[in-house]
Amino acid sequence: MTRKIIIAASNYWNSPFHVGSHNFAKLFAKNGWEVLFVSDPISLFHFFKKNNDQVIDRYKIYRGKIKSGIGNIKIYVPFALITPNERPVFNSRFVTYNWQKMTIPNIVKYAKKTGFGKVDLLWFDSINQYFWLDGIDWNKSILRIADKTSQFRNINKYSLELEAKLKKSVSHIIYTAETLLPYFEEYKNKAFHISNGVDVDNFIRPVKKTPEDISSIPKPIAIYVGAIDSWFDLNYMKDVASKCRDINFVIIGRANIDISSISSEPNIYFLGRKSFNEIPDYLFYSDAGIIVFNKNHPVVNSVNPIKLYEYMACGLPVVATKWKELEMINSPAYLAEDAVDFVKKLKIAISEGKNSKYIDYAKNNSWDEKYKYIEKLLNY
């Protein structure tokens, strides 16, 4: 009999942020499971946001115009009259606890209609989808914690109530960073550390192409791929770039903060959002991967960065600001104490060049390897 899983995810299927929930969905499917991948909802209010191309993508999924591309993975984005966030009214207890009752069609009825009214496993990356615990029949459940949720600005206090309920109610907790353990200390008897990983098939390729928008940028190139948000240290980045004009810095991703303080730097290039499948081509053309996070930001200390494994899968040496979790994983990355040290180590990394030791490290941290731990944990 085919097993079934609902993955309640924060990010939608074709989001530029390809995270653990996406990779585990593919691996469950690869191993014969039927998967319903449900991301957090949209409403009419989302269409009033600037740069709403991601909202349009999510709406297309809701309408069934975008599929997963994998036969046994169904993807869905609920459409609700109102959805929870940090803003007044939207951050009320009523909306946070009841948005799913205002979905069109009703999300629980949709799941039952598509054959997911009874599942072997409920998987939570999204705390706002707590309702699944009471909405359908399930055998086992997992809450996967990859960040300190309380530190994100779009989370309201009632969402944190739901997270507390999830911690108590699920059968298993998976956490990606050792430094997250105090976040659920009272439930550590059912908590298991499984770090982030890398999609080896996507990042280790025999055929490599050079994207046009990076080919005109002189080498050497240090590249950053990912979120440009409050934890991205703009001052640090500017200081590093100003100290080594002989290195060009390519930044890929959409800026959710004001980047005007560094956008005029002559050796910093913002190339915007790229799809998950495009990113390896940009990494192959680069000479080093960088992670320039503010180590004093409350989110950063518990981050186990997927980008580190993705950089290394392409053979790139990695230079990052030093924070506790990065020290604990004992990777071959260069960890910098400050901007001066970062520049020094970046020049060493670039002169060293690409190396198979980085690829080997990435392979040992593939999502396939992480999935093996999940299988043992579930005992299916």
Check residue 89 and give its pLDDT.
Answer: 87
Q: Are residues 205 and 262 in the same domain?
A: yes
Q: Are residues 373 and 309 in the same domain?
A: no
Check residue 123 and give its pLDDT.
Answer: 98
Find out whether 346 and 319 touch, Cβ atoms under 8 Å: yes
In this prediction, what percent of the chain has a pLDDT beyond 90? 86
Contacts of 86 (CB under 8 A, 6+ apart): 153, 154, 155, 156
In this prediction, what percent of the chain has a pLDDT beyond 70? 99
Q: Are residues 231 and 191 in the same domain?
A: no
Q: What is the pLDDT of residues 264-317, one digit of tens each?
A: 999 999 999 999 999 999 999 999 999 999 999 988 989 999 999 999 999 999
Q: Are residues 209 and 135 in the same domain?
A: no
- CA 67-22-128 angle, to 5 degrees, is 95
Q: Are residues 90 and 132 in the same domain?
A: yes
Q: How far is CA 93 from the centre of its chain?
A: 27
Q: At what angle do helices 20-30 and 367-378 cross, to 10 degrees?
A: 70
Domain count, the chain: 2
Q: Are residues 153 and 213 in the same domain?
A: no
Residue at token pair 């439930």: 187
- CA 68-72-78 angle, to 5 degrees, is 50
Mean pLDDT of the region 194-220: 93
Poorest-pLDDT segment among 112-126, 147-161, 220-234: 147-161
Check residue 51 and give its pLDDT.
Answer: 67
What does the buried/exposed string (b/e) look like for 175-205 if buried means 16 or more CB atoms within 10 Å of the residue's CB?
A: bbbebbeebbeeeeeebeebbbbbbbebbbe
Find out whether 78 and 103 touch, Cβ atoms under 8 Å: yes
CATH number at residue 339: 3.40.50.2000
Mean pLDDT of the region 55-76: 95
* pTM for this model (two decimals): 0.93
- The structure tokens listed for 307 are 């980008």
Q: How confident is the model at residue 9 (pLDDT cuts 50, 70, 90)?
A: very high
Residue 249's DSSP bridge partners are 222, 268
Q: Is the pLDDT of residue 356 over 80?
A: yes
Q: Are residues 113 and 99 in the same domain?
A: yes
Find out whether 11 and 54 touch, Cβ atoms under 8 Å: no
Average confidence score pLDDT of the chain:
94
Check residue 316 and give its pLDDT.
Answer: 97
CATH number at residue 140: 3.40.50.11010
- The structure tokens listed for 309 are 């494994």
Q: Are residues 146 and 211 in the same domain?
A: no
Which long-range contacts does 321-330 make (Cβ < 8 Å, 24+ apart)? 321/233, 321/236, 321/291, 321/292, 321/293, 321/294, 321/295, 322/295, 323/293, 323/295, 324/179, 325/177, 325/178, 325/179, 325/301, 328/178, 328/179, 329/195, 329/304
Mean pLDDT of the region 11-24: 93
Q: Are residues 187 and 64 in the same domain?
A: yes
In the chain, the largest separation of any two C-alpha atoms, in whole Å, equals 61
Domain that residue 319 falls in = 200-364
Please report, for residues 33, 118, 142, 163, 187, the alpha-carbon distance to residue 166 in angstroms, rounded to integers and kept in the order given.
23, 19, 9, 5, 11
Q: Are residues 85 and 207 in the same domain?
A: no
Q: Are residues 187 and 279 in the same domain?
A: no
Q: Is the pLDDT of residue 347 over 80?
A: yes
Q: Are residues 170 and 208 in the same domain?
A: no
Find out whether 312 and 361 touch, Cβ atoms under 8 Å: yes
